[in-house]
Structure 1
Amino acid sequence: MSADPWKIAAKAQYALWVVFLAQVAVGLFVKLPYDYWLSWLPALGALGIGLVTARSARHRIKNRPPAPVAVAPPVTGRWSAVNSPADKVPSHGTHSLAQTYAIDIVAEPADGPARPRTVLLWPVARRNRDYPAFGAPLYAVAGGTVVHAEDGQRDHLSRGSLPGLLYFWLVEGVFRTVGGSRRVVGNHIVLDLGDGTYAVYAHVQRGSLRVRPGDEVETGRLLGRCGNSGNSTEPHVHFQLMDGPDLETARGVPFTWHGVGVPGNGETFTVDADATAPVRSQDA
């Protein structure tokens, strides 16, 4: 194990302080002249500045986010980013449930029905099938092992108006938070990508899973479909990386998608059908 250079620098600074204090003690004992003390002022200033600089640099390095992990996109087609870590961290306003670098994306197809927009009063709720993201296939972003997969929670109606959103934020969201992480993320999949990195897909559609815990998957394997379970106002894909398999204890890990990067809020991007991976025969 290599030595921490900042610890070495700090120890050197402390050693110099000891030498300086010893010189002060000697000077007091033998009653050295006034200019002796003046000669130590530059050294004292340098010691102080060096110690503060070393501590500051060490703090910055210690708190620097880890390097992004490059993976394939979890979807194909045309999508738009919401709550993106490209704009703020933590992206969802919290570090809980390893959401520090999480992203939400909604489908924005160039052809076909457009995604419904939120209205002022009516309808309070919308059918999930009115949203093009509902039922969209979710693919493995890298090869790995399925460590968790569940799809038994219902897909509730989407909140399509201001009253619906207020009910969601003030009533339903509170009860889901009290109910624990499962009620927040809804149906979800956790993949072990190796090297201490885990991928999470939240709000998965009920009954859509194509994998089970313990399954080995390749990049591009169909895992399930986008739904509206858990703490979700409309069908969308919530994706994140974390450093452990447990949402309650893991920390978020930055990601970047091959060919896409990290899209910012409102940024639309398109993923070709062959970009997510080689396993297309299972994309039924």
Structure 2
Amino acid sequence: MSVRKVMMVALRVTWVVYAGLIVGRLAGLPLAWWVVLAPLAVLLALGLGQSGVSRRSRALRANPVPAVEVAVPVAGRWSVLNSPADKVPSHGTHGYGQTYAIDIIAEPAPGARPAFARFWPVARRSEDFPAFGEPLYAVADATVVRAADHRRDHLSRNSLPAVAYLLLLESAVREMGGAGLIVGNHVVLDLGDGTYAMYAHLQRGSLQVRAGDRVREGQLLARCGNSGNSSEPHLHFQLMDDPDLDVAAGIPFSWRGIGVPANGEVFRAGGPPLSQP
């Protein structure tokens, strides 16, 4: 087992232990157990996580990886969140191969996407967002390594109460459950030469491929959804050096004809090279 996988397992066990301590305290265990062991559990979790991030950061600086150019995985008008053009790691962590990951949301027209709410509505249906159900295409000729789409598409987390719930409770629970709960429905493509592409937060039941299939660039893979650790329907896309998210390191990408759009940037992509529904 790799060092990174050991750390990830240790983190999950630590959070489970910490939760158990809290439950034990509520159940009436002596205060000394909670006062001494709970802070140690938190420090252990933070220390392991930070050490892993620091080692990965040093390795990336010492051995920069060239960007891999691939096709754009969507068509139409989209805007960008959490782009590696603005910061690396783009999502604040090297974990799960996310170093150069990007999030994009469909914006067919200005104002078409529901605005962030202060208090109401607390949550919206996935169908209220234009990204939901949008087709996602293969960025290169590839082999499907992983394909899963059984997880539900949940309500949005784009209000203050919902974001608080996502950050303070839901994300921690999903982290304890592992990569599958974080990325939700997803597909991983083997592009060859040690490069893998992952599409996360797919719509439940939308996969058009399965593990072992060969796909061509531009082929329909699935549709955009809101599964996993997602605030609203969007595509999370990344390249990485291993199909196992617990050990993968991120690889920088460049979309053909577009490059790497920055946070807030709106871009348009043409249709796929293959005739798709």
TM-score using structure 2 length: 0.77
Q: State the partner residue of 1:102.
A: 101
Is 1:252 the counterpart of 2:239 in the alignment?
no
Aligned positions of 1:182-221 closer than 5 A: 182-221=180-219
| Letter matched to residue 89 of structure 1 | V
Q: Say whether 1:92 aligns with 2:96.
A: no
Sequence identity percentage: 63
What is the CA-CA distance between 1:160 and the residue it aligns to?
A: 2.8
Return the alpha-carbon distance in structure 1 between the equivalents of residues 60 and 166 of structure 2.
40
Deviation at 1:64, TM superposition (A): 3.9
**Structure 1 segments unaligned to the other structure (5+ residues):** 1-58
Instruction: Provide the C-alpha distance between the structure 2 equivalents of 1:62 and 1:253, rounded to a whole number of angstroms.
Output: 13
C-alpha distance in 1, partners of 2:60/2:93?
A: 22
Residue in structure 1 matched with residue 18 of structure 2 by the alignment: none
What's the CA shift string for 1:187-211, capped at 9, x where partnerless?
0000000000000000000000000
* Equivalence for 1:138: 136
Question: In the TM superposition, what is the alpha-carbon distance from 1:245 to its structure 2 partner?
Answer: 1.1
**Match for residue 262 of structure 2 among 258, 261, 264:** 264
Q: How far off its partner does 1:61 sit? A: 9.6
Equivalent residues of 1:86, 1:264 under 8 A apart: yes
Q: Secondary structure at the match of 1:176?
A: helix
SS in 2 for 1:171: helix
Alpha-carbon RMSD? 1.5
Partner-residue secondary structure (3-state), 1:178: helix
Letter in 1 for 2:79: S
Counterpart of 1:91, as a letter, is S
C-alpha distance 232-72 of structure 1, shift in aligned 2 (>3 A): same
CA drift of 1:119 comes to 1.1
Q: Tell me: CA distance 1:62–1:108, structure 2 relative to 1, closer, same or farther (3 Å).
A: closer
User: In 2 relative to 1, CA 169–145 (structure 1 residues): closer, same or farther, beyond 3 Å?
Assistant: same
What residue number does 2:274 align with? 279
1:159 counterpart SS class? coil
Secondary structure of 1:67's aligned partner: coil
Alignment of 1:32-51 (within 5 A): none
- 1:232 lines up with 2:230 in the alignment: yes
Question: Per the alignment, do residues 144 and 160 of structure 1 end up closer, same or farther by CA in structure 2, a change over 3 Å counting?
Answer: same
The CA distance in 2 between the partners of 1:214 and 1:60, in whole Å, is: 32
Which residue of 1 is the match for residue 64 of structure 2?
A: 65
CA distance in 1, matches of 2:166, 2:101: 21
Deviates more, 1:222-231 or 1:64-73: 64-73
* In 2: Cα distance, 1:224 partner to 1:61 partner: 32
Structure 1 residue 60, shift from structure 2 partner? 9.8
Cα 1:72–1:123 shift into 2, 3 Å: same
- Return the letter of the residue paired with 1:279: L
Structure 2 unaligned blocks of 5 or more: 1-57
Q: Tell me the distance in 2 between the aligned counterparts of 1:154 and 1:211.
A: 18
**Aligned match of 1:152:** 150
SS in 1 for 2:202: coil
Paired residues in the alignment total 220
